[in-house]
Amino acid sequence: MRHNSVWGVIQLINKRNRAPFTEDDQNLLITFASQAVVAMENARLLAQTDEALRKSVNELSLLTQLDRDLNTSLDLVPVLNLALDRTMTIFDGTAGAIVLLDEDGRAQRMIHRQYDPAVSLENLTAESGLMSRTISSRQPYVAKNVHEEVGYIAANAHTLSQMTLPLLNKQELIGVLVIESNQLDAFDEEAVETAVRVTNHAAVAIANAVLVEQVNAANQAKSDFVSMVSHELKTPMTSMKGYTDLLLTGMTGQINEQQRGFLETIAANIRRMSQQIQDLTDISRIETGQLHVSLSPVSLVEVVNETLQIIQGL
């Protein structure tokens, strides 16, 4: 007996010399049993510690490998696919999904495995569904039997239990991960605790991939804007340059020195604007690694004169 709990029974039938058991024999056996139960408890605790240590090492190895795999790419789609596939493998999921949310908590993108194509993103994230419970509470939600859950929407006809987990990055809810099983009560408390740690690591990689995607989108928008501005400015500048050159040649009539000076100032400003447009285009090409340097002779006298004209006009 240990801590008022019976661990077992020791039974002695006969002595070898067939003599009866005495009170001393009884006391000796009690002492032995007391020491034996301590040894048994220590052995049990050691076994539990070894098992807990083994699980911790396995989980640490799993998370390390997951981090390594997730960080091999910064593209959002491969990261989402890898995170979902690995999580389903870890917890023997038969179906699953990752839903990304915007800043207002609205679903904006989903990837899934083994879902009915007829099931829409809007249906799965409806306020009455299981996913919405995790979105509102930011806590894991486990349905031991989905058919007993009010508002459950079947995305896979064979699903019997479901685990829904929040994807949190710096306390911000960026999405939801769903793992489904064709077994009842497939996800115990230990599985949920492990899943939370897995999703915490996955959320960081997903958030980084989202940021990279946003940066790439912003860069593309900037490049498109520069391209549009350059095109829209080049067209009128070409016409202005053509007419100015035409006037300077005297083909439209004689011009006096004052008029020529004005036209040359206009022509210089047109060249300056053309160069600025070219600079805008070059910036975009530099960022994409497509800039080709074209060398040509430059008249320093013209550069100085144009600079003086610009300064005098200020």
- Give tens-digit pLDDT for 187-225: 999 899 999 999 998 999 999 999 999 888 888 888 888
Neighbours of 27 (CB within 10 A): 10
Structural contact between residues 166 and 202, judged by C-beta atoms closer than 8 angstroms: no
Residue 309's pLDDT band, with cuts at 50, 70 and 90, is: confident
Would residue 138 be called left, alpha or beta, if left means φ above 0 and alpha means ψ between -120 and 50 degrees? left
* Residue among 94, 124, 100, 55 at smallest CA distance from 202: 100
In angstroms, the CA 4 to CA 155 distance is 52
The yes-or-no verdict on residue 1 having pLDDT over 70 is: no
> What architecture is the 74-213 domain classified under in CATH?
2-Layer Sandwich (3.30)
Q: What is the pTM of this model?
A: 0.65
Question: Cα separation of 1 and 34, whole Å?
Answer: 7
The full set of domain ranges for the chain reads 1-70, 74-213, 216-312
Q: Comparing 77-91, 225-239, 278-292, which segment has the lowest mean pLDDT?
A: 278-292
Q: Which of 73-87, 118-132, 232-246, 300-314 has the highest mean pLDDT?
A: 73-87
Does residue 86 have a pLDDT over 60? yes
Q: What is the per-residue pLDDT across 222-235, written as a single tens digit (0 to 9) for each? A: 888 888 888 788 88
- pLDDT of amino acid 56: 65
| Residue with more model confidence, 201 or 294 | 201
Indicate whether 310 pLDDT > 80. no
% of the chain exceeding 70 in pLDDT: 91
First to last CA, the chain: 101
Q: What is the predicted pLDDT for the residue at 55?
A: 65
pLDDT at 156: 94
| Burial readout 175-212 (b: 16 or more C-beta within 10 A, e: otherwise) | bbbbbbbbeeebbeeebeebbeebbebbbbbbbbbbee
Above 70 in pLDDT, residue 76? Answer: yes
C-alpha span between 304 and 268 (Å, rounded)? 11
Do residues 106 and 118 make contact, with C-beta atoms less than 8 angstroms apart? no
Question: Rounded mean pLDDT of the chain?
Answer: 84
pLDDT at 128: 65
**What was the pLDDT predicted at 24?**
79
Specify the residue for token string 């911790």. Answer: 56
Largest CA distance in the chain: 147
pLDDT at residue number 13: 77
